[in-house]
Amino acid sequence: MDWLDEVREKMKRKNQVLFSKDSLLLQDLRLLVEGQSRRGLVLWALDLAEETVAELEARYVGEDRPRQALEAARLWAAGTIKMPLAKRAILDCHGLAKELCDPADIARCHAVGQACSVVHTPGHALGHPIYELTAQVRTYGLEHCQTPVEARVQHYVDRLLFWQTQLPAYQGPWADFLCR
C-alpha cells in the first residue's frame, strides 16, 4: 500500500483529515522533526503558517483570525504575551474553520492552528503538514494530487533544514520556556 491508497481508504471512510503522523508519506519528515530543537521547530512551523495564512487572506479578504493566531504565536514564542492570549487567538482560528464550507480551507485553518500550537509543544509539529496536505488533496482531487502533495512534503523538509541551519544566527527574542 502506498500513501495514495491510504488517502483513498480515508476518503472512502469519509474522514475529514486524510493524513496522520503515521502516514507513509510523512515518515521521513517525522524522523527529521524528531531530531530538531524545539526553537527550530517553532521557527519552521511559524514559517509554514505564514504561507498558509497568506493563502487564506487572499481567499477571505478582511478575515483576520488566521493572521491574529500567527501573530499571537510569534509574540508568545518571544515571551511578549502569555499562553492564554495566544491560546484564545489559536482557538479563534480553529473556530473560523467551523464557519467555512470549503473542505480545503477548513483544513488550512486547522493547519495554521496546529502550526501556532508548536510554541506550546513540539508534539504539534506534524499538525500543519497533516492538515495542509489534506487541503492539497481536497484542492487537486485524488487523481491529480500526487505531484503537488509530494512537492509540498519536500518543501517541508527543505524549510526544516533551512531553519536548522539558520537557528544559531536567529536574533529574535525567546520566551524563557523555550530556552530550557
- Per the CB < 8 A criterion, the answer to whether 71 and 119 are in contact is no
CA angle at 25 for the pair 23 and 29, rounded to the nearest 5° = 100
Structure confidence by residue, pLDDT tens digits, 66-118:
999 999 999 999 999 999 999 999 999 999 999 999 999 999 999 999 999 99
pLDDT band for 1, please (50, 70, 90 cuts): confident
The mean predicted confidence, pLDDT, of the chain is 97
Exposure string of 2-41, with b = 16+ CB inside 10 Å and e = fewer, is ebbebbeebeeeeeeebbeeebebbeebeeebeebebbbb
Structure confidence by residue, pLDDT tens digits, 45-56:
999 999 999 999
- Residues of the chain above pLDDT 90, percent: 97
Helix (H) or strand (E) holding 159: helix 146-166
pLDDT at 150: 98
**How far, in Å, are 91, 132, 143, 160 from residue 10 at the CA level?**
26, 16, 15, 27
Structure confidence by residue, pLDDT tens digits, 122-139:
999 999 999 999 999 999
Structure confidence by residue, pLDDT tens digits, 152-161:
999 999 999 9
